């Protein structure tokens, strides 16, 4: 089957843009290096350029993936969506790369030549025209929001179907009340989710979970998360994140005993879990965490505070990142992971006191009221002389000081999970906008008939489809052992995209979108959390994506430099 | 004093960009014309292009105004902000104009020549560099958010000072509770606001208000609105909109008796007012309104529904747009304005029943729960055989059928007022972000020291300053009898800018920004209403701004065509 000629042009343009982007990356890398070696100090001074670089890399990779996507399974909707996204992305990458060239003192002539290229103008005239956007908008409406149709193998497709049906039938009817009354996720949601096995998606089968024994199945986790998040971000889609992080930490660092004891329970959703990392004065800065563990007979005593600990009330098991090495200069090498068991509590505040025999330590928690992402509640926690037995230190004595490393695999999974959450919220918003636009009449005809509405829907669909396709692709790469930087990249792009898509969907609803009884108002406030948690946008863009690109660029440059040093 | 050379370059570039934008406008106008006359049908088919045109015109006018702004009163902060905005705006106008050229089949060579111009690259290297952005960010931080320092005459400056102080002292302390508990604006806010005279800002002095007798003082209204909105959008800043619209309707169409009776009362804030225009099935489509007035002895009976009637509970006087001509084909020429008196009510629902002597009609209302803009509440209203005496029809018998025209002046004022509201919310968000960034430490140093934080703050400040400057300029033009299209344009730009600025301000706060106890979370949800009410974004962009530009372009083209017809 012959590929669409616009797809070919777009792919060609992206292939020509990639080396220009890489030229900027290499030049910026040289600015961030001292004697060819990456310098954190110099890199810090280049934050503004690095931020542009990270976003350009996200758009570029997403566009490359989107354009490859339709392939021989192309249908006109998928092709149209890929082209709409591709054109927007080329424009954005071009602008950001030009900013980088200007900043870095490079000659912008090659970029201007690209911008003036006849093929680029022709592509926009053909696939970026108002008529093309409207056609894609119509196709999207006719597909009833079945967008981003990435072809899945049968097992994954069946899981997606099953969870989408479950989300629509069981989760969606409870989502509005959960949000508006700021309730705690009820057993009427938790029990069927346990039965569906969602808490064991990252637990290998031999430990009672649903992941293969010999590899991860990140794609499945993303698919399920996406399906559940479409119905409720906080009531269902986000329940997987915590067992995901905890299971992976146990798999990475737990003793055999700990794995056999905890993993089957986590997979069964009993106890439910929470993860306590962030502290009041430290957001993404893990190396500075201060919650103190003091060694006592038979275990440790914990003192200090954590915050933004989601689901800490309902959870029966909290994984806590503890500073076990009193020498603060040890940074993240002084951190260990401990498991705290506590009673499950449905309220917005709890106080758990240990028995006198255990020393009478206490853990108290208070939910932080938020504009969205309601249902699990995020807690401020105060640890006061809380006893943790030796058996509950992940990895035992050998695990001390390795807490940071044990969380890494889970963090990666958490970011992919969050890309899935963002996709689910986008899908919900787009389908709500499609329904509303079909029903609502303005100036005598359905809103959906307006060319502007169709063009907006096309852009929303294009962004969603591109993020979803990239998330699936990165999930597969992760399961093959790569894709660590890309997991942050797709999280960055999908979360910001979800903010934009929900904003546009709300706007299409007019005043009705601003009313709490419209689900789209919830999608909008829920989406706003995505760029903040699981690695804030700025942290991911700078400390993960840009840094990784620049270090790679320096590594690539080294052999060449050893032969013929530049400058 | 010699102007900054970058300002001169930016002004020059804008002067070269303007004719390219106008070429696109003229070409689009020709597409929307039949035999040289504007065709609504053809225009409708060009919505996507028209939408781009409207946004390009907003960015272009705002940049032109910003760059003229600093003038001889330039200080480095104002100049820096103007340049940051100017560069962003040129980039955006260029991209949108290029899209229009491609869409309209025009030769894009002149745009590419502009994009490749050395002066444009030099300007970006000089005033758009990371270093320049950081310097502007620092200057903004050092000015403690005193941005957009438009020079005001003494009377206006004093009013601004007084209202900013009042807002900080009286309004701000009550704002959080009002929002979080969805209260009704209490007398502890209303009474001091009455004493400050805010309800009489659009009422001429001879009728007991604070506006000059011989002209409007839109600038004062915008300044006061901005100052109050900084403390609370719904608890203070928006209280002026309703008396503004009602006063202007009375001034435009009321009988002398109606003016003398109502204006002093409205100015005194007793009764408080509400405006009922929108109906459940019709948002911005005024010509289709259906609420029916039936002539009876001594007056009219009203039957039908209104929605999104803000403050209808607390108000003692509701201006209602009523269809008095049963012939629906009369469109907006069948509408009249009536004043409904009702008891003031503090709740989220009310039911007012007229006496049996009056015929036992009823008006019931129910507040719509919204994600923000809480305090005044927006109501669904149901009119059931409600009696309105002849004396309460604005303009009496002569006013019948002129309701739409009487609201026009108020609508214009409402849009300027909304630009002021957006400015106030932006100012609040920027100052909150500055404070937070100065206090919060990340990775060992204040967030404010991060180059990326400074660059983000610079862009936020630049956008706020540009919107504020444009709003003040348009306010002055309106008072001189012009600026009708520009009032919609500045509303469009300021509201979208407020969404973006509050989003960025929240992001700088990290997780804390998502917590309801952070004021920035309120600014974010409040800002989201701005692009919806007082003329939805799409309606203003298409039906007011683009249409007005295109009709003007056709009018400009006519003399030339009458001499030498084109095509």
| pLDDT at position A144 | 81
For B74, list phi and psi in degrees, rounded to 5.
Answer: -60, 135
| pLDDT at position A4 | 87
Residues of A (398-427) whose Cβ lies below 8 Å from B = none
| pLDDT at position A283 | 64
| pLDDT at position B283 | 64
First to last CA, chain B: 50
Better-predicted residue by pLDDT, A537 or A562? A537
DSSP readout, B421-468?
HHHHHHHHHHHHHHHHHHH-EETTEEGGGSHHHHHHHHHHHHHHHHHH
Active site residues of B: 534
H/E element, A365: strand A362-368
The average pLDDT across B433-459 equals 93
Look at residue B333 and tell me whether its pLDDT is greater than 90: yes
First to last CA, chain A: 50
For chain A, say whether B513 makes contact (Cβ under 8 Å): yes
Cβ proximity of A232 and A427 under 8 Å:
no
Contacts of residue A108 in chain B, CB cutoff 8 Å? 121
The average pLDDT across A351-360 equals 94
Question: Maximum distance among all alpha carbons in chain B?
Answer: 80
For B290, list phi and psi in degrees, rounded to 5.
Answer: -120, -15
Taking the C-alpha atoms of residue A363 and residue A304, their distance in angstroms, rounded to an integer, is 10
Distance from CA of B359 to the nearest CA of A (A): 34
Average pLDDT over chain B reads 93
B514:A45 CB<8 A: no
Cα three-residue angle A327-A331-A334, rounded to 5 degrees? 60
Task: Give me B271's structure tokens.
Answer: 């009764």
Of A44, A507, A532, the CB nearest to B514: A532
Task: Give me B213's structure tokens.
Answer: 């007798």
Long-range own/partner contacts, residues A64-70 (CB < 8 A, 24 or more apart): A64/A11, A64/A14, A64/A18, A65/A466, A65/A469, A65/A470, A65/A473, A66/A465, A66/A466, A66/A469, A66/A470, A67/A7, A67/A10, A67/A11, A67/A14, A68/A11, A69/A150, A69/A469, A70/A4, A70/A7
Contacts of residue A49 in chain B, CB cutoff 8 Å? 130
Cβ proximity of A390 and A299 under 8 Å:
yes
For chain A, say whether B439 makes contact (Cβ under 8 Å): no
Is-cis flag, bond preceding B184, omega within 30? no
Length of chain B: 567
A451:B47 CB<8 A: yes
Dihedral angle over CA of B559, B560, B564, B567, nearest 10: -110
Lookup result for tokens 């000629």? A5
A125:B133 CB<8 A: no
A514:B531 CB<8 A: no
DSSP readout, B155-173?
HHHHHHHHHHHHIIIIIHH
CA B499 to chain centre: 13
The average pLDDT across A217-243 equals 94
Look at residue B286 and tell me whether its pLDDT is greater than 80: no
Q: Which residues pair with B338 in a beta bridge?
A: B320, B393
B451:A130 CB<8 A: no
| pLDDT at position A409 | 79
The average pLDDT across B338-366 equals 96
Q: What percent of chain B has pLDDT over 70?
A: 96
B78-91 in b/e form (b: 16+ CB < 10 A) is bbbbbbbbbbbbbb
A281:B441 CB<8 A: yes
- SS3 of B175, please? helix
H/E element, A60: helix A47-68
For chain A, say whether B177 makes contact (Cβ under 8 Å): no
Look at residue B562 and tell me whether its pLDDT is greater than 80: no
For chain B, say whether A96 makes contact (Cβ under 8 Å): no
Lookup result for tokens 């920027």? B430
Contacts of residue A180 in chain B, CB cutoff 8 Å? 369
Residues of A (103-162) whose Cβ lies below 8 Å from B = 103, 108, 112, 115-116, 121, 124-125, 128-130, 133-134
Catalytic (active site) residue A534: yes
Task: Give me B47's structure tokens.
Answer: 């919505």
A510:B528 CB<8 A: no
- Please give the domain boundaries of chain B with CATH numbers for all domains: 1-128+537-567 (1.20.140), 145-535 (1.20.140.10)
Better-predicted residue by pLDDT, A492 or A558? A492
Q: If you average pLDDT over each of A563-567, B88-92, B198-202, B354-358, which comes out highest?
A: B88-92
Give the best residue of B511, B540, B545 to mutate against chain A (max A CB count within 10 A).
Answer: B511
Contacts of residue B528 in chain A, CB cutoff 8 Å? 503, 506, 514, 524
- Distances in Å between the Cα of B258 and the Cα atoms of B197, B207, B434 are 21, 11, 49
For A28, list phi and psi in degrees, rounded to 5.
Answer: -65, -40
Question: What secondary structure letter does DSSP report for B233?
Answer: I
| Span A468-517, pLDDT tens digits | 999 999 999 998 989 999 999 999 999 999 999 999 999 999 999 999 99
| pLDDT at position B149 | 65
Of B49, B115, B124, the CB nearest to A115: B115
Look at residue A168 and tell me whether its pLDDT is greater than 50: yes
pLDDT band at A562 (very low <50, low <70, confident <90, very high): very low
Give the best residue of B101, B376, B510 to mutate against chain A (max A CB count within 10 A).
Answer: B510
**Of residues A12, A19, A8, the one with CA closest to residue A97:** A19
For chain A, say whether B455 makes contact (Cβ under 8 Å): yes
For chain B, say whether A502 makes contact (Cβ under 8 Å): no
Please give the model's pTM, rounded to 2 decimal places: 0.96
Nearest CA in chain A to B52: A452
For chain A, say whether B307 makes contact (Cβ under 8 Å): yes
**Of residues B450, B430, B423, B420, the one with CA closest to residue B504:** B430
**Of residues A440, A437, A444, A475, the one with CA closest to residue A458:** A437
Taking the C-alpha atoms of residue B66 and residue B78, their distance in angstroms, rounded to an integer, is 9
A532:B538 CB<8 A: no
A288:B444 CB<8 A: yes
A514:B370 CB<8 A: yes
Look at residue B559 and tell me whether its pLDDT is greater than 70: no
**Of residues B550, B558, B554, the one with CA closest to residue B57:** B550
Average pLDDT over chain A reads 93
**Of residues A513, A541, A552, A494, the one with CA closest to residue A233:** A494
- Distances in Å between the Cα of B308 and the Cα atoms of B246, B346, B410, B529 are 16, 17, 17, 12
| pLDDT at position A563 | 46
| Span A91-100, pLDDT tens digits | 999 999 999 9
Cβ proximity of A253 and A395 under 8 Å:
yes
Q: Pairing state of beta strands B441-442 and B445-446?
A: antiparallel
| pLDDT at position A528 | 98
Cα three-residue angle B448-A500-A478, rounded to 5 degrees? 85
CA A423 to chain centre: 9
Contacts of residue A372 in chain B, CB cutoff 8 Å? 514
**What was the ipTM of the complex prediction?**
0.96
Q: What percent of chain A has pLDDT over 90?
A: 86
Task: Give me A384's structure tokens.
Answer: 């006061």
For chain A, say whether B532 makes contact (Cβ under 8 Å): yes
**Of residues A155, A192, A156, the one with CA closest to residue A172:** A192
For A470, list phi and psi in degrees, rounded to 5.
Answer: -65, -40
Contacts of residue A373 in chain B, CB cutoff 8 Å? 514
Contacts of residue A370 in chain B, CB cutoff 8 Å? 514-516, 521
Contacts of residue A102 in chain B, CB cutoff 8 Å? 121, 124-125, 128-129
Taking the C-alpha atoms of residue B556 and residue B550, their distance in angstroms, rounded to an integer, is 10
DSSP readout, B298-353?
TEEEEEEEEEEEETTTT-SEEEEEEE--S-GGGGGGGEEEEEEE-----SSEEEEE
For A540, list phi and psi in degrees, rounded to 5.
Answer: -65, -45
| pLDDT at position B411 | 87
A52-84 in b/e form (b: 16+ CB < 10 A) is bbbbbbbbbbbbbbbbebbeeebeebbbbbbbb
Q: Which residues pair with B37 in a beta bridge?
A: B34
Contacts of residue A43 in chain B, CB cutoff 8 Å? none
Contacts of residue A282 in chain B, CB cutoff 8 Å? 442
Please give the radius of gyration of chain B, using alpha carbons only, rounded to the nearest integer. 24
| Span B294-312, pLDDT tens digits | 999 999 999 999 999 999 9
For chain A, say whether B443 makes contact (Cβ under 8 Å): yes
Taking the C-alpha atoms of residue B542 and residue B545, their distance in angstroms, rounded to an integer, is 6
| pLDDT at position A561 | 47
The average pLDDT across B376-389 equals 98
Contacts of residue B281 in chain A, CB cutoff 8 Å? 441
The single residue of A52, A78, A244, A534 carrying the catalytic annotation is: A534
Of A129, A370, A452, the CB nearest to B51: A452
Nearest CA in chain A to B49: A130
For A338, list phi and psi in degrees, rounded to 5.
Answer: -130, 155
* B493 Cβ neighbours under 8 A, 6+ residues apart: B58, B59, B62, B467, B470
Q: Pairing state of beta strands A362-368 and A349-353?
A: antiparallel
A538:B95 CB<8 A: no
Of B285, B517, B531, the CB nearest to A507: B531
- Distances in Å between the Cα of A478 and the Cα atoms of A65, A394, A494, A548 are 15, 24, 17, 16
Residues of B (370-389) whose Cβ lies below 8 Å from A = 370-373, 378
Q: Which residues pair with A442 in a beta bridge?
A: A445
Residues of B (325-364) whose Cβ lies below 8 Å from A = none
Taking the C-alpha atoms of residue A273 and residue A199, their distance in angstroms, rounded to an integer, is 9
Q: What percent of chain A has pLDDT over 70?
A: 96
Taking the C-alpha atoms of residue B563 and residue B558, their distance in angstroms, rounded to an integer, is 9
pLDDT band at A52 (very low <50, low <70, confident <90, very high): very high
Distance from CA of A216 to the nearest CA of B (A): 30
Nearest CA in chain B to A113: B116
* B90 Cβ neighbours under 8 A, 6+ residues apart: B10, B13, B14, B17, B63, B120
């Amino acid at each position: 089957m012959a590929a669409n000629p616009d797809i070919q042009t777009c792919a060609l343009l992206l292939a020509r843009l990639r080396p220009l982007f890489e030229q900027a990356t290499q030049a910026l890398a040289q600015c961030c290096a001292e004697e060819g070696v990456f310098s954190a100090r110099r890199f810090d001074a280049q934050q503004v350029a690095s931020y542009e670089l990270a976003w350009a890399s996200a758009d570029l990779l997403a566009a490359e993936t989107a354009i490859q996507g339709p392939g021989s399974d192309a249908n006109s909707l998928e092709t149209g969506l890929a082209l709409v996204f591709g054109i927007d992305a080329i424009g954005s990458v071009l602008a950001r790369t030009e900013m980088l060239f200007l900043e870095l003192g490079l000659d912008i002539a090659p970029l201007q030549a690209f911008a003036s290229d006849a093929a680029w103008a022709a592509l926009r005239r053909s696939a970026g025209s108002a008529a093309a956007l409207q056609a894609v908008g119509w196709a999207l409406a006719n597909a009833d929001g079945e967008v981003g149709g990435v072809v899945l193998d049968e097992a994954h497709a069946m899981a997606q179907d099953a969870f989408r049906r479950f989300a629509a039938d069981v989760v969606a009817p409870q989502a509005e009340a959960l949000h508006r009354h700021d309730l705690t996720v009820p057993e009427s949601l938790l029990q069927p989710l346990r039965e569906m096995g969602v808490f064991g998606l990252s637990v290998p089968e031999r430990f009672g979970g649903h992941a293969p024994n010999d590899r991860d199945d990140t794609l499945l986790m993303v698919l399920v998360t996406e399906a559940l998040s479409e119905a409720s971000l906080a009531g269902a889609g986000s329940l997987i994140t915590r067992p995901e992080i905890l299971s992976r930490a146990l798999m990475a660092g737990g003793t055999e005993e700990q794995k056999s004891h905890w993993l089957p329970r986590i997979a069964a959703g009993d106890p439910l879990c929470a993860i306590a990392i962030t502290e009041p004065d430290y957001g993404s800065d893990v190396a500075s965490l201060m919650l103190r563990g003091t060694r006592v007979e038979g275990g440790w005593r914990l003192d200090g505070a954590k915050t933004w600990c989601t689901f800490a009330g309902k959870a029966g098991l909290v994984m806590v990142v503890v500073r076990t090495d009193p020498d603060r200069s040890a940074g993240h090498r002084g951190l260990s992971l401990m498991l705290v068991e506590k009673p499950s509590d449905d309220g917005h505040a709890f106080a758990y006191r240990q028995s006198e025999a255990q020393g009478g330590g206490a853990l108290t928690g208070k939910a932080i009221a938020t504009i969205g992402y309601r249902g699990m509640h995020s807690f401020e926690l105060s640890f006061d002389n809380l006893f943790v037995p030796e058996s509950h230190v992940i990895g035992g004595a050998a695990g001390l000081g390795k807490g940071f490393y044990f969380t890494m695999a889970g963090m990666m999974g958490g970011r992919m999970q969050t890309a899935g959450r963002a996709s689910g919220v986008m899908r919900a918003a787009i389908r709500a906008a499609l329904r509303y636009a079909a029903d609502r009449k303005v100036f005598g005809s359905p809103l959906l008939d307006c060319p502007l509405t169709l063009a907006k829907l096309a852009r929303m669909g294009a962004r969603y489809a591109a993020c979803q396709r990239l998330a699936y692709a990165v999930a597969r790469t992760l399961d093959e052992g790569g894709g660590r930087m890309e997991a942050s990249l797709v999280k960055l792009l999908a979360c910001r995209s979800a903010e934009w898509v929900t904003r546009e969907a709300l706007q299409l609803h007019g005043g009705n979108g601003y009313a709490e009884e419209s689900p789209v108002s919830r999608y909008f406030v829920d989406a706003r959390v995505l760029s903040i948690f699981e690695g804030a946008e700025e942290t991911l863009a700078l400390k993960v994506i840009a840094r990784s690109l620049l270090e790679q660029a320096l590594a690539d440059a080294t052999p060449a430099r050893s032969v013929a040093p530049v400058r």
